Amino acid sequence: MKRLVLITSLLLAAVSCQKLQFPPRSSDCSLSGLKCFVYYDMAHSSARQELNLLSGTWNKERGLISYVFPQDERFTGDALAYCRIEATIPSSAVLELCDEMGNGLGHGFEAFYDLRGTTLYFKVTAADGTERSYQLTCRTK
């Protein structure tokens, strides 16, 4: 009996020393899509136009995105007061809205933005903590 207790204790001690092997955490903090939905007629929520913001000037290396809205009556004046932004990032990453200094303001985008001459700052943090800052500037012609 004493021998059994001894062996069990040894085994438990060995198991407790065994470190669990977790898969490496993703360092992917890339931005693969950035869409804007312009609700140009708030009286009709279905009246919206989807735009690919990355189709503007997109400096991938520096995370700089500049988008100029097309010359279309749907994208002038008050029409741009209600815009929703959607980003596509890795499922293991999180997006945080920031101020110009890089201070976090909260996770995810807000419901609506007025994108008339607006610059938004945000960062994407990968599962392993790797961060990438992005700067989006939207303008009208």
Partner 1 sequence: MKRILLPLTLLLLAVVACNKTPKEEPKFTFALTNAMVQVGNVSEAPMIQVDNSKKTVYIEVVYADKAELSALPVSFTGLPSDVTANPATSTFNYAGGAAQTVTFTQGTLSESYSISAAATAPDPHFVSMKLNGVEVSGGSAKLKGSSDLKNVSVEFVVSPENTVVKLNGETITSATEETPNAIDFSDKMNGVTFTLVCDEVEKTQNVKVVTTGINSVERVWGRYVKPVTAGADLWWTEVIPPSNQNMRTMAMDKKNIYLATTGKKLYAVSISDPTAVKEMDMGDYAAGGVFGSCALATMPNGDGHVILLSNMVNSTASEFVIWKWDSADGKPEKVLSYKLPEAARIGDQMSVEGDWKSGKIWFHDFTSQQAAYVFTVTDGTISTTATKVSYDAKQGNWSAIYKYDDKQYIGGGPGAKSRLFELSGDQATSKLELPGAYFANPLHGIRFFTFNEQEYMTYVVLRNSFQDGQVRFTELNGETLLSSLENPGATLRYGLGDPVENDITADKNGNGLGNNVMQVIDGKIYIASYVPGAGLSLFLIK
Binding site for partner 1 (CB under 8 A): 57, 59, 62, 64, 66, 68, 100-101, 119, 135, 137, 139
Q: Of the two residues 73 and 100, which places its CB atom closer to partner 1 in the complex?
A: 100
Residue 97: CB minimum distance to partner 1, A: 16
Residue 23: CB minimum distance to partner 1, A: 31
Residue 62: CB minimum distance to partner 1, A: 6
- Does residue 75 sit in helix, strand or coil? helix
Q: Of the two residues 82 and 137, which places its CB atom closer to partner 1 in the complex?
A: 137
The Cβ of residue 112 has, within 10 Å, a number of other Cβ atoms equal to 14
- Position of tokens 């945080």? 96
Q: Of the two residues 10 and 68, which places its CB atom closer to partner 1 in the complex?
A: 68
